[in-house]
Amino acid sequence: MDLQRGTAASTSRIVQLRDETSAGRGTFVAESPTAKKALSERQLIWMMALLMALNAFGIDAILPALDNLAGSLGATGNSRQFVVGAYLISAGIGALVPGSFADRYGRRPVLFVGLAVYIALSIACSLVNDFTTLVALRAIQGFGAAAIIALPPAIIRDRVGGDKMARMMSLIFVIFLIVPAIAPTIGQGILELAGNWRWIFAAMAAAGTVMSIWVYTRLPETLDEEDRIPIRIPTIVRNMRHSVTLRETIGYTLGSALVFGGLFGFINSSQQLIGEAFGAGDLFPLIFAMCAGAMSIANWSNSRIVERFGARRVSHAALFVFIGVAGLQLWFAQQPDESLWTFVPLMAANMALLGFIGANFGSIAMEPFKHIAGAASSAQSFLRLTTGAGLGALIGFMYDGTARPLASALLITAVVSLIFVLFSERGELFGAPREQDVEDGAAA
């Protein structure tokens, strides 16, 4: 794929796309500098953030109600965590599907399918009377709604690349993380007002409906006609394989999967950990909000510095500090008298550090794939979510009444993540800032 930049005074770019049906001849397409101005950058950031936040709300709002839900449906022990884990794992598997369809038919129609599934399954979950059925419905919901997770990075990549994409994704995470910060409080409020966990799922359906109306009325199609790729299984497989095997990016995809696996482990076990191990169940929404809030503030800070220092320098430094903080967490967890007031600040610190890692790792991994952004985002989301969610479920299920399993997992995953990054960077860390657009690594 050849990407040539013109020298004209306008900002139009000339993109050379090579299609398998063109017998090796390049097709030149002029991209107008005003073609994507229907939605401002600020509006786009808010919309993508709140789309992704639907998933966070679907996970975190139900956390305060897990005891109530488990008692109502007869779930026992750690099995209540499956309500969260089933959604996360299925979303990771489902992420393989929407990208290629979005590269062929556009981002909007595929996004609407995901929203429709999210709404319909939220309603279905509110009506179940059996725990196994609820877990199955959550798995289907996660699979079908994967487009809400996989497509926002592709939509952003349609417009920008490089460290600017990292800045925009950081701003998206600032807004996105407000939802998990307040979702448990909202869930707790719904539970207290309505007296039934089912109304939390009804609230999810309502939120999905509002977002569907906003997307329908305001989001233009961001995929250029010339960039549409026919549904050809060999091409899709090759593009997806390339996006998750390219040495320059695979370490970042797997690295983010591992560190976020630790985060998912915290989410899965947080209600039991804070309520049972530290006896602070009444403070759970506040503590969860503090941790998520720290991550949101870090993402905002990242958006202010990443274009100056570069996504690599910022994320590499954050990963080293993360390892140090995780080591402290493990040391405190080994003490017989660990208190809530040592656990919470360290957990909040590591969640803040994830704010300097997540968006930057994701943007670096998407750099080479401008013209196959849908397939690349799907494949990378699949690998990231299935690995992270599976690991998170395992960590959560290992809960033993203490913070030791979580602390051990955070340290181990961070160290292995560093090894993967070293592989991608060929042993050289703290690279300089990158230009906005780079050459594609695969043919469409």
Identify which has the larger pLDDT, 300 or 163.
300
Task: Please check whether residue 97 is in contact with residue 149, taking contact to mean a CB–CB distance below 8 angstroms.
Answer: no
Range picked from 98-102, 114-118, 221-225, 270-274 for highest mean pLDDT: 114-118
Quote the CA–CA distance of 108 and 116 in Å, as a whole number. 12
**Mean of the pLDDT values across residues 25-52?**
61
**How large is the average pLDDT for residues 361-389?**
82
| pLDDT value of residue 17 | 31
Nearest CA-CA partner of 75 in 84, 143, 261: 84
Tell me the C-alpha distance between 294 and 353, whole Å: 9
Q: Is 70 exceeded by the pLDDT of residue 31? A: no
pLDDT of residue 332: 93
Confidence at residue 211, expressed as pLDDT on a 0 to 100 scale: 95
Confidence of residue 26 (pLDDT cuts 50, 70, 90): very low
**pLDDT reported for residue 32:** 35
Instruction: Answer whether residue 189 shows pLDDT above 60.
Output: yes
Q: Measured between alpha carbons, how far is 364 from 248 in angstroms, rounded to an integer?
A: 9
Q: Tokens 């794939």 sit at which residue?
A: 369
Q: In this predicted structure, what is the pLDDT of residue 164? A: 78
pLDDT of residue 421: 94
Let me know: does 262 contact 410? Beta carbons within 8 Å. yes
Q: What average pLDDT score do residues 319-323 get?
A: 95
Closest CA to 170 of 414, 429, 320, 352: 352
- Tens-digit pLDDT profile for residues 234-278: 877 888 888 888 888 899 999 989 988 888 888 878 878 888 888
Helix or strand (DSSP H, E) at 44: helix 41-60
| Neighbour count for residue 120 (Cβ, 10 Å) | 17
Q: Is the pLDDT of residue 423 over 90?
A: yes
Tally helices (H) and strands (E) across the chain: 17, 3
Per-residue pLDDT band at 436 (split at 50, 70, 90): very low
Mean pLDDT of the chain: 81
Q: Is the Cα torsion angle 295, 370, 442, 5 positive or negative in sign?
A: negative
> Is residue 434 scored above 60 in pLDDT?
no
Position 1 confidence tier, pLDDT thresholds 50, 70, 90: very low
- Is the Cβ–Cβ distance between 60 and 288 less than 8 Å? yes
Is the pLDDT reported for residue 209 higher than 90? yes
Write the DSSP string, 377-444. HHHHHHHHHHHHHHHHHHHHHT--SSSHHHHHHHHHHHHHHHHHHHHHTTT--SPPP--S----SS--
pLDDT of residue 254: 92
The residue written with tokens 């429709």 in the block is 116
Whole-structure pTM value: 0.67
CA distance 153 to 206: 24
Which structure tokens are listed for 84? 């969260």
pLDDT of residue 251: 92
Question: What pLDDT does 432 receive?
Answer: 67
And the tokens for 386? Answer: 């299935």
- Alpha helix locations (H) across 273-403? 284-309, 311-333, 340-366, 373-397
Contact status, residue 61 vs residue 33, Cβ threshold 8 Å: no
Query: Domains, the chain, ranges and CATH?
Result: 2-31 (no CATH), 41-424 (1.20.1250.20)
Fill in the DSSP letter of residue 337: T
Q: Beta strand 13-17 with 2-4: parallel, antiparallel or unpaired?
A: antiparallel
Q: Name the residue with higher pLDDT: 165 or 408.
A: 408
Q: How confident is the model at residue 353 (pLDDT cuts 50, 70, 90)?
A: very high
Give the lowest-confidence range in 2-6, 159-163, 302-306. Answer: 2-6
Least confident of 36-40, 101-105, 145-149, 358-362: 36-40
Average pLDDT over residues 315-337: 93
Across 21-30, 109-118, 139-148, least confident range: 21-30
Tens digit of each residue's pLDDT (9 = 90 or more) over 192-204:
898 889 999 999 9
**Which range (12-21, 167-176, 208-217) has the least confidence?**
12-21
Token pair recorded at residue 290: 């503090």
d(CA 81, CA 139): 13
Q: What average pLDDT does this structure show over 297-309?
A: 85
**How many residues are recorded in the chain?**
444
Q: What is the pLDDT of residue 75?
A: 80
For 130, which DSSP code? -
